Amino acid sequence: MKNKYIILTLLVLSTLALGANMDSAIWGKELVPNILNYDKEGSLHLGQYFTLLQSGYFKLIFFGVLVGVPALFLVHYLIIGPMIFSHDRKKIYVFTLFNRIIHTIAGIAFMILIPTGLIIMFGATLGGGELVRVAKEIHAISTLLFIVSIIPMFTMWVRWMFVHWDDFKWLMIVGGYLNKNKKPVPAGKFNAGQKLWFWLATLGGVVMIATGAAMYFQDFRLEILVELGISQIDFLRGSAIIHNILGMAVLGLFMTHVYMSVFAIKGAIHSIITGYKEEEEVEVLHSTFYKKLKKQNKI
């Protein structure tokens, strides 16, 4: 138990050291000569796609996700409404203190990363200048917070996140969210939707960090890129394309995650604050897990 906190402290300290070293050698007077070499190093010619995506499509899709996903949930809330479970039965302990601390760090990081990311994306429309520059720095600094949470989050939950037959059944009935019947839904401790979010947030998160760092530092002169015939500018363009596409998925699923936790299942958010879930919620929404706990006499 103690080891976990020691590892977390070491992670925080090494991430802070990384943050303190954020100044890139290429920024400043070296930047222009570096740019002059762009595309002379061999190129995948990503330029035209990058310009097309960056100048129009990305903004449009981001806007679509930002407005479309909440609109869909508003319709869901108005037509079907939240699931409400009894608070009179037992409470089941599902998240340890360590789980909750790590999750809180990730949550705080995202609540900064997402708005600042959107300011960067819609920078020109918002007037550009200082606002975008400040947003970019805050975006980079809050990434450090996200880095601290991502490894522990992966290791503490990964064993529950592998694909199971229940996941296909869960997907076929959209998790039971299309009606308010309290019919047992096939799912273990985490359902298919939660697993998808976990993999996107952790593995996708690592790709977001790497592509974001490539754009922030701008001088990733990696030998392997030269060998693969990828120019520095194409590496940056590729990073921006991947960062934006993954960013859209993260934005959509993050809003879904918050909707599920705060609105779709009444009181669900308490589980990640106190560690306890209502017995009826586990019995209905995580029926396989519930049966297993019963069999093991844990409830």
Q: How far is the CB of 271 from ligand HEM (least distance, A)?
A: 5
Residue 246 contacts ligand HEM per CB under 6 A: no
Degrees, nearest 5: CA angle 198-10-246? 30
Residue 194 contacts ligand HEM per CB under 6 A: yes
**Which ranges of the chain does DSSP label H, i.e. alpha helix?**
2-20, 31-37, 47-52, 58-79, 97-121, 130-157, 165-172, 192-199, 205-217, 223-227, 232-259, 270-274, 279-285, 287-295
Q: Are 175 and 191 in contact (CB under 8 A)?
A: yes
Q: Are 148 and 15 in contact (CB under 8 A)?
A: yes
Residue 271 contacts ligand HEM per CB under 6 A: yes
With CB under 6 A as the contact rule, the residue among 58, 154, 170, 197 that binds ligand HEM is 197
Residues 199-228 touching ligand HEM, rule: CB under 6 A, are 201
**Measured between alpha carbons, how far is 222 from 42 in angstroms, rounded to an integer?**
14
Q: How far is the CB of 280 from ligand HEM (least distance, A)?
A: 13
Residue 114 φ/ψ, nearest 5 degrees: -70, -55
How many residues of this chain interact with ligand HEM, rule: CB under 6 A? 19
Residues 18-77 touching ligand HEM, rule: CB under 6 A, are none
- CB closer to ligand HEM, 211 vs 271: 271
Residues 142-161 touching ligand HEM, rule: CB under 6 A, are 157
- CB closer to ligand HEM, 57 vs 162: 162
Q: How far is the CB of 55 from ligand HEM (least distance, A)?
A: 29
Among the residue ranges 21-29, 34-42, 81-89, 264-272, the one whose residues contact ligand HEM (CB under 6 A):
264-272
Contacts of 73 (CB under 8 A, 6+ apart): 255, 256, 259, 263, 264
The token pair at 181 is 């019947």
Q: How far is the CB of 133 from ligand HEM (least distance, A)?
A: 25
Residue with tokens 């303190």: 20
The token pair at 196 is 């998808």
Residues 85-124 touching ligand HEM, rule: CB under 6 A, are 103, 106-107, 110-111
Q: Which residues bind ligand HEM (CB under 6 A)?
A: 103, 106-107, 110-111, 157, 190, 194, 197-198, 201, 257-258, 261-262, 268-269, 271-272
